[in-house]
Structure 1
């Protein structure tokens, strides 16, 4: 059963037309502990914006500031031109929100929970809610305490989108979902975007960001590392090369360049195979140089978002769990 997800129309503030979220030097400190530092973001209406970072990078802190669950140490944030602190009630009418940990009344059924939350929003068509539950394969007759973690997450997803929000904020939304329900979740996200909504998606899972988002911000230790399209990020660091030569490989040129890493040479019956990582800036020079040699095979591929993620954070990064 398919359900319409046309977002509701609501009068918004005085921010520049087309801008859904804006933060200016947004900072939150927890005493000596890190939160976020001077975060500057602009998110356009109608885009799916990915907020990517490991646990502890500052993703949830940012979202809690946007939703006025905590107050900033300094800086400001606005949603559709409305101040996130002063206009929090108005913002919540525009927004659907799935927190990182969704917990409600354990003795209520899924249906009772969603009817109660719908009443707080002034009423939502029950057929629409039931249709969303069917798409996510959720039994609404069970009590909340009887649900698995994944089914509790489904209740959270439904309450976030059931009122057709203008802005949808999702904090680790696929947590606990099986692959089929993850797929359906992101179908719902794309449907919302296609009908005019803006989606702010926080995640540490590269594949769901890569397949869903229009733009991505990478956050590390409370600071923005990079903001750009998926294509921008894919070209950010390097290319992976594997070159098979007929005969011995001439590698002095590679060894002389800055921007070459993990150079390896393997021997085969026909000749040498060179494997290395080269930066985007020198890729053209490398290709032009080796064009003069007899090459049996040349393979180049761009890094996945996961590769980029590991370049920024390092395989040995051990950031704290939580915020």
Structure 2
């Protein structure tokens, strides 16, 4: 499969303060790629560089094999972008704004625009200024997808949407992906990334600290273990691979990364009532990388 996005040592400084430094990764065709990190980690800076909205200090980015700066206008015809915050002409009606957006593309977007508005329960005849934050976000979703782009770039897409609309939005994105679109999905809400993405890049303080597929990220990481019983001996679990041991009400909780036989031997040396071994959430794995 070819790469839709190729980023090589991309660096952006705002004066003396760094945005991102030496960021490198590729996104494959038809992939749903997650880009996670807390607010301020460099997610939006990376996206703005990809879109040619700002210029890099050094390094390169390509989309569809073409340089993002040199071929910016041509590339953007095939991109659907949803920014983290949407700002529109307040006095316009939703339908007029969407028609204006559609006029930039060399295709008739009317049918898809209406379909998306129906799914998102968006009233096309209201003025932008009368919409709630969540409804403005819906306008952004329809605007970003009405031309059926080859690449969809989403920056914190679900903020402002209620849980029902979030699910509808995820369904739309999964459907677009099935039809052949590649998706680049930036978020600090890890359950979203877990639900949608094939692979994920974790960004911290402007640098990539991990790129891995979701399945491996979860499997190769820590197990979350809870043991219940009377008179549990905490010192029995001071072994390599055990971390973050918490003791409370006849219950021991900790994370373990290592040989499963060792930890089961330690557990069986205790008189236990119950044992729970589970995969940590991506959120907990993520906190491990941020320690």
TM-score by length of 1: 0.84
1:304 aligns with 2:281: yes
8 Å Cα contact 1:50-1:213 kept in structure 2: yes
Q: Distance in 1 between matches of 2:70 and 2:111?
A: 35
- Report 1:281-296 matches (<5 A): 281-291=258-268, 295-296=272-273
Equivalent residue for 2:159? 175
Secondary structure of the structure 2 residue equivalent to 1:124: coil
Unaligned stretches of 5+ in structure 1? 1-16, 268-272, 315-323
Deviations 1:133-168 (A, max 9, x none): 011010010111111111111111111111111000
Secondary structure of the structure 1 residue equivalent to 2:33: strand
Equivalent residue for 1:68? 52
Q: Distance in 2 between matches of 1:59 and 1:284?
A: 40
Equivalent residue for 2:237? 254
Deviations 1:24-71 (A, max 9, x none): 111111122120010011111111111111110100000000000001
Q: How far is 1:293 from its partner?
A: 5.6
Q: Distance in 2 between matches of 1:210 and 1:138?
A: 27
Q: Distance in 2 between matches of 1:179 and 1:207?
A: 13
Q: Distance in 2 between matches of 1:31 and 1:66?
A: 20
Q: Distance in 2 between matches of 1:31 and 1:75?
A: 17
Mean alpha-carbon deviation: is it higher for 109-118 or for 141-150? 141-150
The verdict on how the C-alpha distance between 1:114 and 1:123 changes in structure 2, with shifts beyond 3 A counting, is farther
Q: How far is 1:281 from its partner?
A: 1.8
Secondary structure of the structure 1 residue equivalent to 2:245: strand
Q: Distance in 2 between matches of 1:251 and 1:208?
A: 35
Cα-Cα RMSD: 1.9
Secondary structure of the structure 1 residue equivalent to 2:77: helix
The verdict on how the C-alpha distance between 1:58 and 1:236 changes in structure 2, with shifts beyond 3 A counting, is farther
8 Å Cα contact 1:240-1:302 kept in structure 2: yes
TM-score by length of 2: 0.93
**How many residue pairs are counted as aligned between the two chains?**
291
8 Å Cα contact 1:261-1:278 kept in structure 2: yes
1:208 aligns with 2:185: no
- Report 1:126-145 matches (<5 A): 126-145=110-129
Secondary structure of the structure 1 residue equivalent to 2:41: coil
8 Å Cα contact 1:235-1:280 kept in structure 2: no
Equivalent residue for 1:39? 23
Equivalent residue for 1:319? none
Secondary structure of the structure 2 residue equivalent to 1:189: helix
Which of 53, 67, 70 is matched with 1:86 structurally?
Answer: 70
Q: How far is 1:188 from its partner?
A: 0.5
